[in-house]
Chains A and B, each alone.
Chain A
Amino acid sequence: MTSTAQDLHPAPTLQPGRTILELNGLEKRYPGTHALKPVHLAFKAGEIHAIVGENGAGKSTLIKLLTGVMPRTSGEVIWEGKPAALATPYEAMALGINAVHQEVVLCRHLTVAANMFLGEEESRFGLLQQRAMVKEAQKIIDGLGFDLPAHVVLGDLTIGQQQLIAAARATVRGTKFLIFDEPTAYLTRKEADQLFKLIRRLKGEGVTIIYISHRMEEVFELADRVSVLRDGTLVGTRNIAETDEPELVKLMINRSIEQIYHKEHFTPGATIVETRNLSGKGFENVSVTVRAGEIIGLYGLIGAGRSEFVTTLYGRHKKSAGQIFWQGKEVQVNSEHDAIRLGMALAPESRRDQGLCLNLPVGMNLNLPIYKRISSNLLISGAKEKVEADRQIADLRIKTPTRNALASSLSGGNQQKIVIGKWLAHGAKLFIFDEPTVGVDVGTKAEIYRLFSTLLSKGAGIILISSYLPEVYELADTLHVFRRGKLVATHGFRTASHEDILGQALAEKQEKSGGQK
Chain B
Amino acid sequence: MSTEAIPAEKPKRNFNALFGLTLLGLLLLMWIVLAFATPSFATALNITNLLRQGSLIAILAVGQTFVIITGGIDLSVGAIVGFTTVIVALLINAGWPIWAAVFVTLLVGVAIGLFHGFGIVKMGLPPFIITLATMTSLRGIGLLMTNGNSISINSDPFQAFSRGSLAGIPYLFWMVILVAVPSYIFLHHTRWGRYLFSVGSNAEAARLSGVNVPRTIYMAYVLSGLLAAFVGVLLASRIGIGNPTQGDTYELQAIASSVIGGTSLFGAIGSVHGPLIGSFILSTINNGANLLNVNTFWQRVITGALIIVIVYFDGLRRRGK
Q: Scan residues 58-94 of chain A and give those whose CB is less than 8 A from a CB of chain B.
A: 67, 69, 89-90, 93
Q: Are B198 and A107 in contact (CB under 8 A)?
A: yes
Which secondary structure dominates chain B's binding surface?
helix
Chain B 195-252 residues near chain A, CB threshold 8 A: 197-198, 200-202, 204-211
- Contact B194–A109 (Cβ < 8 Å): no
Further contacts, 10 of them, CB under 8 A, given A118-B206, A148-B5, A156-B8: A69-B208, A105-B204, A107-B268, A119-B210, A121-B191, A123-B191, A127-B185, A152-B5, A158-B1, A161-B2
Task: Write the residues of chain B forming the contact surface with A, with a CB cutoff of 8 angstroms.
Answer: 1-2, 5-6, 8-9, 185, 189-191, 194, 197-198, 200-202, 204-211, 268-269
Chain B residues positioned under 8 Å from A106 (CB to CB)? 202, 205
**Is A242 positioned at the interface, with any CB of B under 8 Å from its CB?**
no
Report yes or no: B6 in contact with A152, Cβ–Cβ below 8 A.
Answer: yes
Q: How many Å lie between the Cα of A149 and that of B4 in the bound state?
A: 11
Is A119 touching B6 in the complex (CB atoms < 8 A)?
A: no
B189/A128 in contact, CB under 8 A = yes
Instruction: Mark A148-179 against chain B: 1 for CB-CB distance below 8 A, else 0.
Output: 11011000111011000000000000000000
CB 8 Å contact bits of A91-127 with B (1 = contact, 0 = none): 0010000010100011111100011001111010011
5 tightest Cβ-Cβ pairs between the two chains A and B = A107-B201, A119-B209, A119-B210, A109-B268, A109-B201
When distances are taken between beta carbons in the complex, the residues of chain B under 8 Å from A121 are 191, 194
Q: What's the Cα separation between A93 and B190 when bound, in Å?
A: 22
In the assembled complex, the Cα of A346 lies from the Cα of B188 at a distance in Å of: 43
- CB neighbours (8 Å) of B189 from chain A are 127-128, 130
Residues of B close to A158: CB separation below 8 A: 1
Residue interface mask A178-207, B partner, CB < 8 A = 1? 000000000000000000000000000000
Which residues from chain A contact B190 at a C-beta distance below 8 Å?
123, 126-128
- The distance from the CB of A83 to the nearest CB of chain B, in whole angstroms, is 22
Please measure, in the bound complex, the distance between the C-alpha atom of A236 and the C-alpha atom of B190, giving whole angstroms: 49
Let me know if A151 and B9 touch, CB within 8 A: yes
| A105 and B1 form a contact (CB under 8 A) | no
Chain B contacts for A114, CB-based, 8 A: 194, 198
Tell me, in angstroms, the Cα distance from A67 to B6 when the chains sit together: 34
**Closest CB in chain B relative to A70 CB, distance in Å:** 12
Min CB gap B280→A, angstroms: 26
Minimum distance in angstroms from B5 CB to a CB of chain A:
5
Indicate whether A303 reaches chain B with its CB closer than 8 angstroms.
Answer: yes
**Cβ of B61 to closest chain A Cβ, rounded Å:** 20
A147 within 8 A of B: yes
CB distance from A149 to the nearest CB of B (A): 5
Say whether, besides A119-B209, A120-B210, A128-B189, A149 and B197 are in contact (CB < 8 Å): no
Residues of A299-326 whose CB lies within 8 A of B? 303
Q: Is the CB of A105 within 8 A of B268?
A: no
Give the Cβ gap from A184 to chain B, nearest Cβ, in Å. Answer: 16
- Interface mask (A479-517 → B, CB under 8 Å = 1, otherwise 0): 000000000000000000000000000000000000000
Q: Is the CB of A118 within 8 A of B9?
A: no
User: Which one of A101, A110, A147 contacts B198 once the chains associate, using CB atoms below 8 Å?
Assistant: A110
Contact A119 B269 (CB under 8 A): no
Q: How far is the CA of A101 from the CA of B209 in the complex (A)?
A: 12
A156 touches B268 (CB 8 A): no
In the complex, the answer to whether A108 meets B202 with C-beta atoms within 8 Å is: yes
Q: Is the CB of B2 within 8 A of A107?
A: no
Q: How far is the CA of A370 from the CA of B9 in the complex (A)?
A: 44
Q: Is the CB of B5 within 8 A of A149?
A: yes
- A69 to B269 Cα, complex, angstroms: 27
Cβ A149 vs Cβ B2 within 8 A: yes
* Alpha-carbon distance between A148 and B2 when the two chains are bound, in angstroms: 6
> Which B residues are CB-close (under 8 A) to A108?
201-202
CB < 8 Å: which of B6, B200, B204, B211 contacts A118?
B211
The contact of B210 among A90, A149, A156, by CB within 8 Å, is A90
A149 near B9 (CB under 8 angstroms)? yes
Q: Pick the contact of A107: B5, B8, B185, B206 (CB < 8 A).
A: B206
One of B200, B205, B210 near A93 (C-beta < 8 A): B210
Q: Is the CB of A107 within 8 A of B9?
A: no
Q: List 24 A-B contacts (CB under 8 A).
A: A89-B207, A89-B208, A89-B209, A90-B210, A93-B210, A101-B208, A105-B202, A105-B208, A106-B205, A110-B194, A110-B198, A115-B205, A121-B191, A121-B194, A127-B190, A128-B190, A148-B5, A149-B6, A152-B8, A156-B5, A157-B2, A158-B1, A160-B1, A161-B5
Q: Chain A contacts of B208 at CB under 8 A? A: 67, 69, 89, 99, 101, 105
Cβ of B211 to closest chain A Cβ, rounded Å = 5
Closest to B6 in A: A149
CA distance A148 to B210 in the complex (A): 25
Per-position 1/0 for A4-36, Cβ under 8 A of B: 000000000000000000000000000000000
A118 pairs with B2, CB closer than 8 A: no
